[in-house]
Structure 1
Amino acid sequence: MNKLLFSLVLAIPCLVSAQDSSGRKTGDTVRLFRSMDTVSIQARRHVIEVRGGKMILNVGQSAAATGGTVLDILQHAPNITLDPNENLLLKGSAAVNVLIDGRLTYLSGQQLSNLLKTLSVESVSRIEIITAPGAQYDAAGNTGIINIITHKSNRQGYAAALTAGGGFGHFGGQTTENLSGNIRSQHINVYTDLGYSKRSLLPYRTNYQRSSFNGQPAVYDRALTNPFHTGSYSYKLGVDWTLNDRQTLGILYAGYYNPWKRNVNGPTTIRDTAGKILSILQNRDFQNEPSTSNAYNLDCSFHLDTAGRVLTADADYISQHNQYDGYVGNAPENAQGQPQGAFQQLNIHQPSYIDIRSIKADLTWPVHAWKIRTGAKFSAVRIDNNFRYDSVAGGLSYFDSSLSDRFIYTEKIAAGYASVSRQWKGLSVEAGLRAEHTVSEGNALNTAQDNKRRYLDWFPSLSLEKQAGKQHRLSLTVSRRINRPPYGDLNPVRYISDPYSYYQGNPNLLPELAWVGVIGYTLKSKYVFSFTYTRQNHLIAETAFINDTSGALVVTNANYPHSDRFELLTVIPVEPVDGWSINLASNFNYTEYPLILATDSQQVRRAAVDLTLSQQVRLSSKSSFELISRYLSPHTGGIYLSGHYFSVDGGYKISFRQGKMEGRLGFTDLFHTIRYSGSSLSHTLQSGYYNTPDTRRISVSLTWRLGGQLTQGKARTLDEQRRL
């Protein structure tokens, strides 16, 4: 079957060549749009573009984005991947800001992934990836910013889009429904977006570790099935008022609800070094974690004159509640699989309450040929996480004080910035400076661990861009960034897998500081080359060690002294024949950092490559086919060397009824080749994992557009990073 599918993939160029020879006019192709600010790298308004220092995914143009979610389409972007837990990574790091319409999501890890799964790709206009933001952007996020722009019409009248989709994979089906629209008059615009996504998946997870069992060397092998179900709801309602020619006022409410749950089953098999089974542990891990989020925003803008002087202000309040209930259970067996003891169970109750408040103001003030920007912001965060473990024995529950704790975290950030920019003939310059003063406290009440920090950091930035003739453009950007530890990683409680493996937070994590420099060159307004150097101090990355007392594998995050990363990104578009567009995006990178453990010390050096080949075939003026192939070579991340993987996604798109209806048929991971694997880089700690996600799926969707055409939403000033 895989050979047949692979043959079809290779046959695409032949099909296109045959179509081209049929006499279709070359004039049917929409030519590349070329200007100093825009570089289009595929036919029409293409799936991937590079504009003004941003890499842009035009989601609406992708036939592969069928019945899927924003999390699915993000994996088509160069440098964006997922880790084995579906955490979003940019350039291999979780130190990235994720925003929706310029607004902070305030989520990370599994919660962020769950939110992105609720957002239908049909509700999104484009996704921007900014790797070197200026002083007007928050300094958080060492690897950059991902800004998701949703649809909204700027024309008077009404516009709406209704999408329904479904699909299936190895384990179960999926459904996606979305309604987005707005009604605009001369002075008022009311817009909304409602989404629902339901999905059932069955990934397989295996991992191993070498430690000891009853005083002798042993190997622990885990083989787990991890079925989980998610049915996520997202909802948004906003109003924009144009009070007069110079003043606008906006109110926005956005929320989501996700009743996420999973049920993990499988054995931990303990063997001696010769392979003889010493013991077996049958595992059960049930998690029921419904989460809700409610966000409110008030924004206003004042055009002080007609010369471009503008004052804007935003106020935000976000409330989130996560209710985690479940248990971890283990049934010991002997080598023959016979029960060897009573079922051991730990019940888990973990309510988490999060409140976030922020207010900001920005002023743009042109002075002759110069443009001056300045602004200030204050944000306050409070998190209350009560983590309770109860041991169950004889049908009775007993509070386990050694594992339970209550963690309260507060953080206040006061920031201010100023920047100045100017354009000369063929040259544009922008320089800025941002200051952020942070006061934080993480208090684990039961263990009396109270970590207080107060620090002031300065973040300069510089951007130069030179247009040399009509075919050459050079750019240079330099900025200093910060990555504060995710709130959950500061919580010292344990997340237990079985008696021999658990994750534990690290309350002593320090913020990660980085210098990022990018040199860019664009040839003929379409061929893009960029070189990036990133120097990170106090790098936050995963590490692991063996608990000397219990022999358990302990996974946590730690600060590595520093890291150096060099990257060469190239974007090469070609059009072999009329109607067949090819785009090759390649990222060659080299990473180096010291790996320092209690029993091991070495210098990690690793080169890697990330290749994305996108092909678009325009079958007619109303239909197209897209194929996206990606290869990611082995790459480093903290203590682990992650394995390579290859994937092929694609889809067919057709519009009818004068463009009012659009149908899509898509597939992901065609050959089921995506694997998340890794092994320890340490000479003394031997552990690793090999996970098979449930990613080979086929989907179909139908979109019905009413009224006018939805366009991109209002791009607001970007906010601080998500760290929950």
Structure 2
Amino acid sequence: MRQFYLLLLVVWSQCAVYAQETATTLTGKVVTETLPMEFVNIVLLDWETKKIVTGAVTDADGTFSFAIAPGTYAVKASFLGYQNYESAAIKVESGKSHIIPLINLKQDGKLLNEVVVEATAKKPLIQLQSDKIVMNVENSVLSEGNTALELLEKAPGVMVDNDGNISLRGKQGVTIMINDKKTYLSQQQLTNLLKGTSSSSISAVEVITNPSAKYDAAGNAGVINIKLKKNARNGFNGSVNANYGRGRKNRFGSGLNLNYKTGKYNFYGSYDQYYRGESETFTFDRNFYTDATRQTLEKFSNQYSVTDEPLKTNNFKAGLEYDLSENTFVGFKVSGDIGSYTNNSMSENKVRSADTSLLSDALTNNHNHSKWNSMSYNGSFLHKFDSAKQEISADVDYTHSRFRDNALLATQFNPTPVQQAYESTRRGMTPSSTSIFVAKADYVYRVKEKLSFEAGWKSMALSPDAGCVGT
């Protein structure tokens, strides 16, 4: 028994020491001139790798705080209309609280003026509501020339890495919704969809860091709800949009929105197409040493890669809404998404010994082609009680999507003094299809402005079918 108590004491002591070594707080404040700035995106980066460690959003006083392990970090601050800020290396020691020097963001001239003029004419660009932060895109400078993914990069607390992975306040596993409906897509499919959706079709972006049960959020990272535009004017009306841009490649898109409202009926439909050309060039230089001290060079490699990545998307929807009464509404909608993405890359890699003798000379061509199509059907019901404090809603959704990926990897190894010439070829095909049926009902009672009671029911059936063929 003494040995048992002694073991517990040792374990407790080790845990206490560990907690003491890792308990560290890093705080800071963001201002513009002397005024505190709210909703500023703060990202904590690992100093060496520049990878995101965590994130935060400043409060009404412009302050933010991180609880982190000892290490060396950098802090990055960004806000629409202001120049980005990135700190020098910040060394965080164990068991000490660290305060970052005051961060003073500078205005970005013309862009800030455009944002203020556009936003104040209709709605403020950023709105803080009881359960979410809303970025009003419609009628702002953000409504043109951006994709949905680029909009998310500007939303408070949202971070998007180079691969299109989305995090909220530094947490992965964010639930993405479009018009209050969850998108049952893989990471690659979701990234392609957001890249192919024009900002001109988006009304607002809602950031919900503490979602209620009705949002059905997986994990605790939060919810991002993208609200698409809806036309409710009487009579027949519509709009046409087109955009063009160029970086290394051309990017262009166009869209059509039509709406006809008469009496209790509202008919609507839209179509958007988008093409994004993209090319990237990489150069990698690597050194390999004989041991961990990195004193003696064994060999080194020089790699050059270039990619061509065209993306094509087509999105459409059509629907009918009918007012059963002043407070009761029903609707039906069908929507679809058809697209393709190709990644063609060429890579040359030479490996040499420390005396520059050629050890390996490889030329690799990689061709990856993905295409998909998805159809969704929705029936909805909404009733608002006379007091306007209570409402009940119901939705039935069915979605069927198909995805197919073909890959070819061919490598030609040229002869060297230590290696004979040979070829390596790999092929792969990944077909998949998914059918999803979801039915749900929700009840909301708003007790007062910042207090509400919610209850709901949901049922879902999922039928996935995936395969993989490789040679």
Q: Do the structures match in fold with TM over 0.5?
A: yes
SS of aligned partner of 2:404: strand
Match status 1:91 vs 2:186: no
Distance 1:309 1:16 in 2: 40
CA drift of 1:389 comes to 0.8
Matched with 2:195 is: 117
Distance 2:328 2:431 in 1: 42
Matched with 2:260 is: 183
SS of aligned partner of 2:429: strand
Match status 1:360 vs 2:440: yes
CA drift of 1:77 comes to 2.4
Distance 2:382 2:143 in 1: 35
Distance 1:167 1:95 in 2: 31
Give matches, 1:221-240, under 5 Å: 222-240=303-321
Higher helix proportion (structure 1 or 2): 2
Equivalent AA in structure 1 for residue 190 of structure 2:
L
More displaced stretch, 262-271 vs 200-209 = 200-209
CA drift of 1:13 comes to 5.6
Distance 1:12 1:308 in 2: 43
CA contact under 8 A between 1:46 and 1:61: conserved in structure 2? no
Give the alignment partner of residue 412 of structure 2, picking from 310, 331, 334: 331
Distance 1:63 1:368 in 2: 34
Distance 2:437 2:135 in 1: 31
Match status 1:348 vs 2:428: yes
Gaps of 5+ in 1: 1-5, 18-28, 32-39, 391-724
Equivalent AA in structure 2 for residue 174 of structure 1:
R
Equivalent AA in structure 1 for residue 432 of structure 2:
S
Bigger relative contact order, structure 1 or 2, given CA contacts below 8 A and separation 6+? 1
SS of aligned partner of 2:319: strand
Matched with 2:331 is: 250
CA contact under 8 A between 1:67 and 1:164: conserved in structure 2? no
CA drift of 1:265 comes to 0.7
Q: Deviations over 1:528-556 (max 9, x none)?
A: xxxxxxxxxxxxxxxxxxxxxxxxxxxxx
Q: Superposition RMSD on alpha carbons, in Å?
A: 3.6
CA contact under 8 A between 1:250 and 1:299: conserved in structure 2? yes
CA drift of 1:331 comes to 0.8
Match status 1:106 vs 2:184: yes
Matched with 2:75 is: none
Cα pair distance change 1:366/1:83, threshold 3 Å:
closer
CA drift of 1:388 comes to 1.0
Size of the alignment, in residue pairs?
Answer: 358
Match status 1:193 vs 2:274: no
TM-score (normalised: structure 1): 0.45
CA contact under 8 A between 1:98 and 1:146: conserved in structure 2? yes
Distance 2:328 2:393 in 1: 10
Question: Following superposition, which runs of at least 4 residues in structure 1 exceed 6 angstroms of deviation?
Answer: 14-17, 208-213, 366-370
Higher strand proportion (structure 1 or 2): 1
Q: Deviations over 1:575-600 (max 9, x none)?
A: xxxxxxxxxxxxxxxxxxxxxxxxxx
Give matches, 1:535-574, under 5 Å: none
Q: Deviations over 1:356-376 (max 9, x none)?
A: 111111123578998542111
Matched with 1:204 is: 281
Distance 1:15 1:368 in 2: 38
Distance 2:313 2:112 in 1: 40
SS of aligned partner of 2:150: helix
Distance 2:446 2:161 in 1: 45
Distance 1:303 1:78 in 2: 31
Match status 1:66 vs 2:144: yes
Equivalent AA in structure 2 for residue 310 of structure 1:
E
Give matches, 1:325-724, under 5 Å: 325-334=406-415, 340-365=420-445, 372-390=453-471
Match status 1:142 vs 2:220: yes
Matched with 1:160 is: 238
Cα pair distance change 1:139/1:166, threshold 3 Å:
closer
* Same amino acid, percent of matched pairs: 25
CA contact under 8 A between 2:323 and 2:329: conserved in structure 1? yes
Distance 1:298 1:235 in 2: 17
Gaps of 5+ in 2: 1-82, 84-105, 291-296
SS of aligned partner of 1:122: helix
CA drift of 1:253 comes to 1.2
Distance 1:208 1:237 in 2: 52
Match status 1:298 vs 2:376: no
CA drift of 1:226 comes to 1.5
SS of aligned partner of 1:136: helix
CA drift of 1:65 comes to 4.6
Cα pair distance change 1:294/1:368, threshold 3 Å:
closer
Matched with 2:27 is: none
Equivalent AA in structure 1 for residue 273 of structure 2:
Y
Distance 2:223 2:466 in 1: 28
SS of aligned partner of 1:75: helix
CA drift of 1:137 comes to 2.3
Distance 2:382 2:366 in 1: 51
Equivalent AA in structure 1 for residue 279 of structure 2:
L
TM-score (normalised: structure 2): 0.67
Distance 1:161 1:112 in 2: 26
CA contact under 8 A between 1:67 and 1:175: conserved in structure 2? no
Distance 1:245 1:273 in 2: 81
CA drift of 1:315 comes to 1.1
CA contact under 8 A between 2:217 and 2:223: conserved in structure 1? no
CA contact under 8 A between 1:124 and 1:151: conserved in structure 2? yes
CA contact under 8 A between 1:127 and 1:147: conserved in structure 2? yes
Distance 1:70 1:330 in 2: 36
Matched with 1:541 is: none
